[in-house]
Amino acid sequence: MAGNAGGLTLSNYAKSRYVAMVSHRPVEKGARMDLKDHIRSIPDFPKPGILFYDISTLLAHPQAWQATVDRLADAVRPHQPDLLVGIESRGFLVAAPLAYALRSGFAMVRKRGKLPGKTVRFTYDLEYGTDTIEIQEDAIAPGQRVIVVDDLIATGGTTEAAINLITQRGGTVVGAACIIELTFLNGRSRIPVPVTSMVSYDS
C-alpha cells in the first residue's frame, strides 16, 4: 500500500514500505478485510533468524484495528467472560479494548516485580531455564469466567502459565484469544482451553 489517494495517511513505516491509511472509499457489500494485509513482517528481529510479525501497522489503521476488535469480540462473547486477562505487554493492547467491547473487566499478568501491591507468582519452565509471571492478589474473584488474551501465541508456554496462575487463584478459564497464531509451533496443543485466533501463519 502506498500513496494517499482516497485516504488520509497516518504513518509511514519505511522498513516495510507500509502506509497506514483511513480509507474514505465505500467497502463493497459482503467484502471482508484481510487482517494480514495490515501486519508487517520484520526479518531478524529481535535476533537473527527470527521473523517478527508486527501489529504496529494493524494498530495504526483505524478500520483494520476496529475490525480486529469486533471480530475478537464476536468470537469470545459466547464464552460469557467476566474478566479478560492480558499478558504483558502487547496482550494489554488487545485485552483492554476487547474487555470494553464485551463490558467485561480487565486484569494484567506481568513479569515479576512489575505490579504494585500484593501479588501471586507462577514460575514455569522455558527451553533453557525458567520465567516467572505475576498477577495482583485480588485481581481474580473465585468462580469468575476468564479469557486469557495475548497478541500472539507461539509455543503457548506463557498462555499456559497464565491459565495455571488464574486457576490457582480460583478463576475459571473458559478460553484464550489472540490476533496471531503461529500454527507451525503447535502452541495450542499445550493450552487446555479453546483458542481463538484471527490470523495464522504456518511458517
Catalytic residues: 90, 127
Residue with cell 484471527: 198
Asked whether the beta carbons of 135 and 119 are under 8 A apart, the reply is yes
User: Would you tell me how many other CB atoms lie within 10 Å of the CB of residue 124?
Assistant: 15
CA 154 from centre of chain: 11
User: Would you tell me how many other CB atoms lie within 10 Å of the CB of residue 71?
Assistant: 16
